[in-house]
Amino acid sequence: MKNFGELLKGPNQLSKAVGDLTGLRVYPESVSVAAEMFFALARKGIEKRLIILFENARKAADFTGRHNSISIDGVQATIVICPLNHHNAVGIRGHLPFTRPVTVGVKKSIGTGDRLGISTPGHVLAVRKGTMQPVFCQQSIREMSRTHRTAQQVMDSACWGVLQAGWRGGFGADADHLKTTDDIDTCFKKGFTLYTVDPSDHIEDAADSDSGQKLRAGFEALPWDILQSNCNDCITAYADKKFKIPGLSITITNKDLLQIAVKCGKAIAHILIMFEHLKNRFAKGKFELEISIDETAVPTSAAQHYYLASELKRLGVEWVSLAPHFVGRFEKGVDYIGDLDAFRDRFAKHIAVARHFGPYKISLHSASDKFSIYPIAAELGRELVHVKTAGTSYVEALRVIAEIDPQLFRRILAFAKEQYAHDKATYNVSASLERMPAVENLKDQQLPAVLDDFHIRQLCHVTFGSVLTAKKDDTGFLFYDPLMMALRQNEQLYYKVLEEHIGKHIMPFA
């Protein structure tokens, strides 16, 4: 007669037996064996459950669910069918290390933000076709606020998606666009590993055009105590000097220095404060820092990047990636708008600075669907590139809705048009309602393709929060409930669409 240990040696056969006994359909990629326990994710209808099989009841103390005694091939065991709640997500991360986020390091990578909490299995399918390290768990505080999600929900949904898809290659968790130490604390408590600090509130864009006494006064008023320097030392280090590094020569005049220092000085101090706070929080763990200066008024020059990196290095700050503001327009949800030769020239300069002071990665923010620049970034950056996407997976979910529930899609689109003027205020977009195709004149089978239109794609990209949180009444949501129901009922179609679309972002870097 077999014993329980022998059953665990045939996890695929055990998976089939468990499925037959419970009536649940097991996701084969999710099957795992650890510490003499069998784990799998399964579903019945649209409901998903965690299945745990064990011999010793004490081993299931970390999980809550419905316990039953079963017999498989004459072996008595206990099965627990668990809801996918936070308590059980913590338990699974404790027992299956591959479901816990890790630091990614200085390797080419892609962030695949998931505004719906169900997209990770599709992202896994795409990532498997390339060689980029994934950051499956990624969401900004702004996005969490607009979708009414918490950092914990973002983390747990990525964990369950990784388990379902059986991804064992490691993944990062990006707490995106953080502005305060309170933001850091919120995400630290939930296990995030990458912290993208956004110092845009501390950048003085007006310094680019300031001169004379005003510029000098701003320079003298910088927080030199935090910067651990003074006016004279800064001038001695940078003013009227030429800096030669491999692939780049930079000259900084005295006026250039004053403008750059006034523009970036307070931001550098803020980054240092955020970094020191992270070091204190992670006294016994690892974290990664990304610096985001992409939300400034004008593109980041090579001299500004050089000064910023040089000063941060002097102050002992360590970072894994930096997002400059590039030339051209990085509008949400559409391809790059601008001169590709100019982008190539500026990207090459940023990579030269990153190699000199790091190496660290150059991060492409608002990088969804920027297909024309990926080959340039891949060629020049090689391993030193991070591509950050988020809203494009939501827009592709709407493509699935357009195919399987045209009337729901039409209602969502009409509502999005009503919200666009308000929602676009904090995004870099140029879509025009007047230039959108007349969807009411299109047949149902034409609707999925309408999401390739520049204006409609941007419309959908920035109105996600309004659509997902629109209330029907006290009992439910106007669009979220039917949208999620449809996607869950057709999850394989959604995963296939994501595999193809996110795959287009990844393949140029393969």
290 tagged catalytic: yes
Q: What is the 3-state secondary structure (H, E, C) of 222-276?
A: CCHHHHCCCHHHHHHHHCCEEEEECCEEEEECHHHHHHHHHHHHHHHHHHHHHHH
Catalytically annotated residue among 143, 174, 176, 331: 176
Q: In terms of Cα–Cα distance, which of 47, 39, 42 is closest to 22?
A: 42
For the chain, list the domains and their CATH numbers.
Answer: 4-95 (3.30.200)
Residue-wise DSSP of 21-84: HH--EE-GGG-EEETTEEEEEEEETTEEEEEEEESSGGGGTT--SEEEEEEETTEEEEEEEE--
Closest CA to 327 of 296, 299, 301: 299
Structure tokens of 85? 């709640």
pLDDT of residue 507: 97
Separation of alpha carbons 152 and 188, rounded Å: 10
User: Rounded to an integer, what distance in angstroms lies between the CA atom of residue 44 and that of residue 23?
Assistant: 7
Cα-Cα-Cα-Cα dihedral sign, residues 400, 403, 408, 412:
positive
Q: What backbone torsions phi and psi does residue 82 show, to the nearest 5 degrees?
A: -115, 140
pLDDT at 483: 98
**Number of Cβ atoms within 10 Å of the Cβ of 246:** 7
pLDDT of residue 49: 98
Between CA 304 and CA 312 the distance in angstroms is 12
Can you read off the two tokens belonging to residue 117? 């909490």
Phi, psi of 225, rounded to the nearest 5 degrees = -65, -45
Q: Phi and psi dihedrals of 303, rounded to 5? A: -65, -40
User: Residue 190 corresponds to which amino acid?
Assistant: K
User: pLDDT band for position 474 (50/70/90)?
Assistant: confident
Radius of gyration of the chain (CA): 25
What would the pLDDT profile of 354-366 be if each residue is shown by its tens digit? 999 999 999 999 9
Which of the four pLDDT bands, split at 50, 70 and 90, describes residue 210?
A: confident
Selecting among 198, 256, 288, 290, the annotated active-site residue is 290
CB 51 within 8 A of CB 23: no
pLDDT digits (tens, 9 = 90+) for 89-146: 999 999 999 999 999 999 999 999 999 999 999 999 999 999 999 999 999 999 999 9
